[in-house]
Chains A and B, each alone.
Chain A
Amino acid sequence: MKQSFFILATFLLLVTIPPHSAGDFDSDRDWMVKRQIDAESITDGRIGVKNKSVLEAMRRVLRHEFVPAHLKSRAYVDMPLPIGYDQTISQPYIVAYMTELLDPKKEHKVLEVGTGSGYQAAVLAELVDHVYTIEIIKELGESAEKRLKRLGYKNVTVKIGDGYFGWEEHAPYDAIIVTAAPDHIPPMLIHQLKPGGKLCIPVGGRFRVQNLTLVQKTESGSVMTRQVMPVSFVPLTGKH
């Protein structure tokens, strides 16, 4: 078979590495937004992100601060990276795309279930009034909290706990983002969503296809979902 997996994989591997030095993170970040995310300049056929403020937030957040030291050189490659405890930091494209789906506004209060490295929370913190984020793995949550503080994010509150029940204390939320869905969306999360609010959930395993699903609570309180197209995990080419 001509389109053998190995040829494809080898091709993709060759085109994965960005044409920038690992230390030049500012230009790496610009390159990441321009080539991997921005609807105006993305060239691999994916639906790019149009929301200017989201693109700006992606440019501002120092992704390399959220990945393990030995992976910093790949921080701006469009791929998920392991962050320990068998967890990953999502690929930048998915972070940006999910953020855009939530339609974040300055006055919004957002709940994130699954803090991980804190990267998604940081991107949201650039855009909204306050981000409440819950992480079940204590070590991850604590390191994310320290990292966010160190980077100056004062509008993010981290809690170690079970995100299944949401965070009633600060509910209702304008938007909720869930980073993993086993087989159902916790009813409490829907309950804690404001009428007109949005919940975004990437469905699918880490390191593979992620079907983005957007749940919307109408003003009347009824719930609707929209299957956004599956998101490719494939890295971008270095030459366009």
Chain B
Amino acid sequence: MRFYFLSVALLAGSIIAYEITLVRLFSIAQWHHFAHMIISLALLGFGASGTAISLTQRWLMGNQWKSDEIERRFHNAYTICGLLYSISVVGCFVLHQYVPFNPLMLVWQPSQVLSIFVLYLILSLPFFFGAACIGLALLRFAGNVNRLYFFDLFGSGIGALGIIVTMYLIPPAQYLTLISAVGFCAVLIANWESWKTRKWRRIVPISGLAAAFIGYLLFNPVSIKISPYKGLSSTLNFPDAQVLNERHSPLGVLHVVRSELIRAVPGLSLNARQPVQPQLGIFTDADGMTAITDFRGDLSKLGYLGDTTSALAYHLIEPPRVLVLGAGGGGDVLNALYHGAVSVDAVELNPQVFELVAKEHKDFAGDIYAPDSPYPVQVHVAEARGFVRAATKQYDLIQIALLDSVSASAAGTHALSESYLYTVEAFTDLYQHLTPGGIISITRWLKTPPRDMIRLFGTAVVALEQSDGAVPAQQLAMIRGWRTGTLLIKKGTFNAADRAAVQNFCRERSFDLAYYPQMPEVEANRYNQLTEPIFFRAAQAILSDDREQFYEGYPFNIRPTTDNRPYFFQFLRFDSLVQMVRTVGRSAIPFIEWGYLLLIATLIQAVLAGVVLILIPLFFLRREDTSAITHNSRFTNWQVFVYFLSLGVGFMFIEMSFIQKFLLLLANPTYAVAVVLCAFLLFAGLGSLFSLKLRAIKKLRQPPIAVAIGMLSVIALVYLQLLPPIFHRFLASSDTLKIAVSIGLIAPLAFFMGMPFPLGIDRLQRHHPHLIAWAWGINGYASVVSAILATCLAIAFGFNVVILLAVGIYLIGGCVHLQMDREITP
């Protein structure tokens, strides 16, 4: 039995690694929202495995079989599913690349819709086979569910951590090889008895298949086809384009490309005269290019940088101490040096970007990031928000670089991504790190109709309103060019000299004034003309008492974003959308950002598919229920359904919400997710291991389920209040301490979250064993749907509401369990 448990742990680790890998590989190959939808729907393979086992369990484990026969059938089914899993993780990924799916053509080609369903089907197979193994083990070893579930969760935790560490070590093309190899190992371990009894007819084919398959993949790794519409693909079409370097990590795959034709200067004025210096492009996940500029020490050649909207702040302050958030290839750092900055702290999340600039292209980049740099530049590998919160220094200028690519911005690709840099709390943090008279400068791409800049302005206004002594109307300035806009937040008021400097800067570069204190409307919308001075009027409205009315009447959601709802890039409003479609029909389509809509579409499809997957076995089970099973309880299928559904949803809601909350403390998204996910799963596993022992504690006057759900609810609710001050206390601490604190906080919560599932399975095992596989399917299905639902709810209501809902859902599950307990007749 223990070999099966070990095998389950390996498979569980492999499955979660596959899920994370799939997200990663899709990020490299594609950029569209459909990737999220396809992966989410493919995960329904989990629920489908429960359905399949429910339908075949009589054949597999029927009462009429002798125990030897049951063992043989189970063993064969486990081995076959394990082998199919190990092969399909690679095979299905390769196969899916041949499905002719181009989301960009979806509007014109009906066959594309069919392709989506084919993709669901192909990519769900590995999840189906992998989860089937675990479901089979659950059915076979239901009496030891607490231990089995411990191994399942333990394996998942190690798998999540392991794959993220692995991403530093091996190239993306080999991720699937490793995952497949772990799957094969799991199968071989499950066949340990055969090794001991020297059943070579069984062992040799399995080992041979594994060795041949993995051996082949080691020398012929899976090729990842990058979409031709990604920036890297387009750039490589240039005749002289050449990939100079490639790096990989969980933060992305980096390609450095050389071509005479690469020139990236976001927001360059149309009046600029000086030629742009040669550049190298660094692409992250084949898109989102940041440029390394040819800089050999001659600052005068960088004059064109002074003609970008983001250069405005340098005209308002003396040679400043600058903090650049999102330094990338160094464009904003060079801008600071060109304008005579006395010191520049360059913050970049991905250390490999710094390494490429500082080492590989040291000469080309002019030593700007080198340790022995002749320039006053200090590099910091950190997440921007985390760096600011932990910083003890103050700055004259904080520059937030244009971090995302223009195409991703236009397409609404980030609509579902959280951003903790553009929230009210973030602006407050930044503001507190300004010297008196210092400036925060934020540049963003412009959209039509305007969205980002107006939301930024509103967010800044709220942040200033919450700061002591601040007068928002006197401390903000906003300008725009033809593609970018820049917002300035000053720690102090913009005086007459400042205002004149802003006016001159804009006039010389044909930039438009959008807002400065006491600005008359006549100065707005002069050079880059819109149908009306929207930016100016929006700024005036936000600063007036009509703010709410303005937000209510604007066709997009441009309300300020907060840490609780950090979806800066989500602008869609359903009411406006419906109205817009009604009014202008198909002409509304250009205004639609598909990210959120596809999330809703994913949810609908997942719910429909899940309902079918859950109802099918119920139909068959109903017939069996009274004929084959004798039981001494009266609880219904629906109680089982509600209980396991609530556990799946509750667990995922809490896990996802707390991952987001811990992101703020741990800052680095890679290890935040790895640490938090791993800690959740490991401690939930320990909770599972301990769960059945609760019954043996005589002093415990409450049923175990009441203790588990009661404790986790109390802890979750207390954390809602307690985490912000705790996080604040440890913000400036070392990473090691922050990780230790995080694990310490997660441990008790996860420990109790790990108990309800084994307690429920244990109850089924003793009274309704035929429902175990069904319950497994429900739980799997609930996890998938709730992951999508949690994002929808967080966008609409914030993470705190998701946690409150999770507690409510857990309590419903607890009540149902107690009701089941009462209905059991002794």
Contacts and interface: CB of A to CB of B under 8 A. Distances in A.
Interface of A: 1, 3-6, 9-10, 12-14, 16, 44-46, 77, 79, 85-87, 136-138, 162, 164, 181-188, 190-191, 203-209, 211, 213, 215, 222-227, 229-235
A85 B241 CA distance: 14
A182 B409 CA distance: 13
Interface string B562-596: 00000000000010011001001111011100100
A1 B604 contact: yes
Given A223-B527, A234-B107, A184 B266 contact: yes
B585 A225 contact: no
Interface string B355-380: 00000000000000000000000000
A13 B110 contact: yes
Given A10-B113, A136-B238, A222-B510, A44 B107 contact: no
Contacts of A235: 107-108
Given A208-B410, A230-B590, A3 B266 contact: no
Give chain A's interface secondary structure class: loop
Given A12-B107, A164-B261, A232 B239 contact: no
Nearest to A209: B590
B239 A136 contact: yes
Interface stretch (B17-25, B269-277, B313-321, B735-743): B269-277
A46 B530 CA distance: 18
B239 A226 contact: no
Interface stretch (B210-218, B226-234, B670-678): B226-234
Nearest to A163: B261
B70 interface: no
Nearest to B482: A225
Interface of B: 104-110, 112-113, 228-229, 233-234, 237-239, 260-261, 263-268, 270-276, 304, 406-407, 410-411, 448, 482-483, 510, 526-530, 574, 577-578, 581, 584-587, 589-591, 594, 597-598, 600-601, 604
Contact of A223 (B229, B263, B510, B581): B510
Given A3-B577, A9-B113, A162 B261 contact: yes
Given A44-B587, A45-B585, A224-B510, A6 B260 contact: no
A180 to B, nearest CB: 9
Given A1-B597, A207-B104, A208-B104, A182 B406 contact: yes
A4 B608 CA distance: 14
A85 B264 CA distance: 22
Contacts of B110: 10, 13-14
B107 A9 contact: yes
23 contacts: A9-B106, A9-B112, A45-B585, A86-B233, A87-B237, A137-B239, A164-B263, A181-B483, A182-B264, A183-B264, A184-B267, A185-B482, A187-B274, A187-B304, A190-B271, A206-B229, A207-B104, A222-B271, A224-B510, A224-B526, A226-B528, A227-B530, A234-B107
A46 B590 CA distance: 12
10 closest A-B pairs (Cβ-Cβ)?
A: A184-B268, A207-B104, A86-B228, A230-B590, A209-B590, A223-B270, A225-B528, A13-B110, A225-B482, A183-B266
A232 B483 contact: no
B613 to A, nearest CB: 20
Contacts of A77: 108
Contact of B261 (A14, A85, A136): A136
Contacts of A87: 237
B528 A227 contact: yes
Nearest to B261: A162
Contacts of A184: 263, 265-268, 272, 483
A181 B112 CA distance: 29
A109 to B, nearest CB: 21
A232 B448 CA distance: 13
Nearest to B410: A204
Contact of A205 (B229, B268, B586): B229
A137 B237 contact: yes
Contacts of A9: 106-107, 112-113
A44 B586 CA distance: 8
A5 B237 contact: no
B175 to A, nearest CB: 26
A232 B592 CA distance: 11
B581 A3 contact: yes
Contacts of B590: 209, 230-233
A14 B107 CA distance: 10
A10 to B, nearest CB: 7
A232 B586 contact: yes
B528 A224 contact: yes
Nearest to A78: B108
Given A3-B577, A205-B407, 6 more contacts: A5-B601, A9-B106, A13-B108, A183-B267, A184-B265, A188-B275
B529 A227 contact: yes
B272 A205 contact: no
